[in-house]
Amino acid sequence: MLKQRILTAVPLAAAFLAALFYLPSSAFAGLIALLLLLAGWEWGALAGLRAGPRVAFLLVLALLLGALLAQRGQLEPWLFPLSLGLWAFLSLLVLTFPRSAPVLRGVGLRLGLGVLVLGPAYLAVLVLYSAGPWHLLWALGVVWAADIGAYFAGRRFGKRKLAPAVSPGKSWEGALGGLACALLVSLAFAYALAVPWGAPLLLFTVLMAVLSIFGDLFESVLKRTAGVKDSGGLLPGHGGVLDRLDALLPALPLAALGLGALPPAA
C-alpha cells in the first residue's frame, strides 16, 4: 500500500511543481479549477447524486469558480472569514459525530457545503499564487508535511485514538508528529525566503495544521454518511482526488487570510 502511494505521489508531485513554476498564470488557474471540478464530481457522489444530477452540480460549481476568478478582488475581504466560520461549524460536526449524522443526511445541504468548501479553496489558491509560487508552495508544504508526518508517526507511535467514531486509524501521536513536521517545514520556508519568524508565524502554522486534520476528518464523516471507503479510485493507493485535497480545503483559506500578516518574500 505504501509503495503504491509513493509510486502515485512522486510523479504527481513532480508534475504539479512543473505546472506551478512554468505554466502561465491563466493555465495554472485552469488546472486548479479542473482539479476542484474532479473533487466536486466525487463530492456529488458522496452527496448521493447519480451521474445526471452530478453533471448539473458540476456546471454550477464551474460557474462559481469562473465568477470567483473574475471577481476575486471584491470577494477576498469577506469570503475567507466566511469559510473559516463554516469550518468551525463543520469541525463541530466532526467532534460530535455520530450524533451529528442526521444533520448531513439532506442531499441539498451536502451539495451546498460542497460549493461553500470548494469555492473559497479555489480563491485561496489564486490569492496565494498571485503573491508568488513560493507562497503557495509554503502553504501546501505545511499541509503536506502535517499529513505525511501524521501518517508515519501514527504508524510508529500511535496508541490513543484521535477520532475513533470518524477515522479509527488516526491517533493523537500521529497528529502531534504531523504538527511537528508542519512546524519544521514552515520554518524552513521562512528561512529560505528570508521571512522573519516568531510566535505569530508559529501560531499560524499550528492553526493550518489543525484545520488540515479537520478537513481530512470531515471528508471521513461524509464517506461514513455515504457508506463508502474512498471518494473515488482515480489515484491508485490514494483513492479519489477529494481524498488528496480534503486537508487543503480548510487550510488554504486560512493561509490566504493570513498572507497579509507575513512580510513579502525576499
User: Domain count of the chain?
Assistant: 1
Within a domain: 266: no
Strands 161-163 and 167-171: antiparallel
Q: Could you tell me if residue 211 is inside a domain?
A: yes
Query: What are 182's three cell numbers?
Result: 508542519
Could you give the C-alpha distances from 152 to 137, 139, 146, in angstroms and in order?
Answer: 22, 21, 10
Is position 137 within any domain? yes
Q: What is the pLDDT of residue 266?
A: 42
pLDDT in tens, 196-232: 777 888 888 999 999 999 999 999 999 998 888 777 7
pLDDT for position 2: 65
- Helix (H, G, I), strand (E, B), or coil: what is residue 23? coil
Q: Is the dihedral of CA 217, 218, 223, 227 positive or negative?
A: positive
The C-alpha cell at 137 is 508552495
- Contact between 246 and 255 under an 8 Å Cβ cutoff? The reply is no
Q: What region does 239 belong to: left with phi over 0, alpha with psi -120 to 50, or beta? A: left
What range defines the domain where residue 43 resides?
A: 2-261
CB 110 within 8 A of CB 47: yes
Q: Is residue 118 part of a domain?
A: yes
> Cα 200–192–250 angle (5° rounding)?
50
Residue 80: which of 231, 251, 228 has the closest Cα?
251
C-alpha grid cell, residue 173: 501521536
- pLDDT value of residue 265: 46
- To the question of pTM greater than 0.85 for the whole model, the response is yes
205 in any annotated domain: yes
DSSP result, 133-166: HHHHHHHHHHHHHHHHHHHHHHHHH--SEEETTT
The DSSP 8-state label assigned to residue 167 in this structure reads E
The parts of the chain modelled with pLDDT lower than 50 are 263, 265-266
- Residue 105 within any structural domain of the chain: yes
Cell of 249: 480545503
| 238 domain-assigned | yes
